[in-house]
Amino acid sequence: MASFSMRGCLRNKGITKKRLKLHTKTKKNGMKKAMQERFKRLKTEMEEISDEQKNVREGQRQVREKIEMIESESEQLKKETKMMIQQSARTQVKLALMFRILKAREDDDSTTAANLTQLLCEIVEMEKVIA
């Protein structure tokens, strides 16, 4: 009886070894598939990140262009504002001269009125040259 159980034991060991080899192969194939799937996922994620980075760079480029455009418009507005302030100052000077001319005429001071009128004409001529 002892020999019978030994034979059974040996048979079982042989079957177990085959099963173990198959199980190991299956396990290795499963790990290989899992690794391949992870690599595919990582590759997909890397592509998505790359696309996102491209979108970010494009957005940054557009923002830079808008900032440059705004800065340019700001400079233009500053120039126009400066010109308007200068024009306003010249207008104030001309108005002051006109009121002084009127005052001189009211006071019958024709010499002062003539001098102020001459000065006003010169200022107007200078403005024509500048413009």
- Alpha-carbon distances of 22 from 8, 12, 18, 40, rounded to whole Å: 21, 15, 6, 26
pTM above the 0.75 mark? no
pLDDT tens for 92-128 read 999 999 999 999 999 999 999 999 999 999 999 988 8
Q: Is the dihedral of CA 66, 72, 78, 84 positive or negative?
A: negative
Give the Cα separation of 102 and 90 in Å (integer).
18
pLDDT tens for 23-48 read 566 666 777 888 889 999 999 999 99
Query: CB-side exposure of 48: number of CA atoms within 13 Å?
Result: 6
